Amino acid sequence: MTFTHIDTERLRLRRFQASDLPTLLAYRNDPQVAQFQSWQLTEEAELRDAIDHWASIEPDMPGSGFQLAVELRETATHVGDCFLNAWSTTIARAN
């Protein structure tokens, strides 16, 4: 099964789309945002390639991270992103 999205009351976590590039570029290059993140200022071509890469992976691939776009459900406006990492496909159980 291919991941499409996760909905909450206010947000939709989904795959990135090419149309997210302007928003992604704007906040990734905003010094007030970037100072709290692990990335450096990024170029448009670099982010275009990243969006293409993110489209080729699934969130359950162990050892690979998965970048999700965050949008407001009410307006379908892209407002950010988050990163998930599947460390293992083994389910751990606490005793």
Residue 62 lies in a domain: yes
**pLDDT of 93:** 62
Check which CATH number belongs to the domain holding 70 and give it.
Answer: 3.40.630.30
Identify the H or E element spanning 23.
helix 21-28
Domain, as residue range, for 24:
5-85
What's the token pair of residue 59? 């969130």
Residue 92 lies in a domain: no
**pLDDT of 74:** 97
**pLDDT of 91:** 61
Query: 50-78 burial, b if ≥16 CB within 10 A, otherwise e?
Result: bbeebeeeebeeeeeebbbbbbeeeeeeb
pLDDT tens by residue, 13-64: 999 999 999 999 999 899 888 888 877 778 899 999 999 988 888 777 666 7
**pLDDT of 37:** 81
Number of domains in the chain: 1
